[in-house]
Structure 1
């Protein structure tokens, strides 16, 4: 699940049901040309060649759509931030700074706030606060973040941070920060009440991007965590069959399946076909164990299946089918049907 889009209530079990052995895309057939006898034959050959070239160009264009020049929907709220490491500013600088929060207004806490000075973010819960759980890349204590009251975090390009703050007074809040690789500024700097976010995430059901509008690459490297904020929502299952509280996204040729838990047990059992955990695919619990994410590369010739359950009851089934030689997957289903 992408940053800022993960649920908090309950738990789940994900059972991977196996996949076929994968392979590389079949090489394209090369056309052989024979000598032409006469001008008429040469003209016909030229016509066929031109037609074939046009067809190949059209096919290539369809197989590899232009990458999108995306900008964060929160870009206007986030100033340009220096990328070179700098010492933490004095308290007086934060006192004079404006507040910042890209979270939806109805989920922002009224007992905690944030201010940004240079590349340093101050998180202040007014009375006192503590980070109960840190997830993703926080860097080095004392250099990239500072515990205490207030809390401080240095924003760094190409990184993402998630933190569960438990104030001694007031409701628990969730911090989400993501600065995608190559971007001039972070994509989001959000502080939300966890209870309000949980209620929202259990109802989430995103619109899916058509597969022919997405560029898929061969042997893709795993995206940086911060780059998942750019991911395209995908699901070829009928809208009425898509499970609520789950998302499926793709970026850079990788697929991420995320589900917010509804039960009391979080687990994932790999049966066969996905290769080696931590190398060929990645599974983790997030949000202090309240949700599960599965990341895997999409490759031609690979078919995957998985089943999502809450407390051992079926909730959703994942189907991934990419036929050998096809330019993109033919099926990326996350469905409530088996």
Structure 2
């Protein structure tokens, strides 16, 4: 077990790749839309003038279009011309060009057919305050907060330290998760105006297991295969420990239970089983090869950039990612299963 340098976590794969291969994330966020709709109605009824909506962890925007359109329409129920500012935030390395191209040209854009909408973007980590104090009416974050600010530790026995046999490694993950969560809440407390609402959906941790073990295991074994075939060194393989993990409901609730963020009220907190749209399609088609292709390309889009960051500079990253996709797709096709994972859903309100 080694302590990695606190290198910044990489954004999702660029060139629109994440937009094309984030069907799982699109399915995940659906369960949080009723909470967003309720929050948007409250903002629309209880506030006046321009509305500021912030999309924390937007990536390339494909999965932001429906939530933002929903929020815009509901905050404008009493005034269809009400000005709405939508701010998308993500890491500096994010592919914002794909986001703005989608906003400008795609029929699914929330700008299409709506006037007085003002989109913008901020390329900074949401673990820090991004906007002026008291300026945000409605916040939204989906499929993002299981990513840590940095990888707390590299382990040699798995691609995720939360699945390591080392208790010290798992404790290091939980320590960073707790610190990151408090930083996120403290920053949102500053940005939100009194009465402001924040809705989040992200990977959780189940009551009896973390969840995501099947896919995480196949991903790690595919990396091990590449190492055993001579494509990766031991050092590179260990550096590929992914900077992500789910939180339990107790971990999510801890800052509220200890009254560390007294201005924030936790109005809703639940854990739901994640959907698996790839498995649903497989049950209809029986096409195991396609099931493997879908999972492998989603994992490349979401985890590939952090894997590439672990490679020695002399490597051909695209070639190695192609090899990883091939190995992972083959493993999944030979072992088709429904993925068992969990989503945390929460609604937070700024009360003072």
Q: TM-score, normalised by structure 1?
A: 0.26
Q: Based on CA coordinates, which of the two structures has the bigger radius of gyration?
A: 1
Richer in strand (by share): 1
Larger RCO of the pair (alpha carbons < 8 Å, separation 6+):
1
Richer in helix (by share): 2
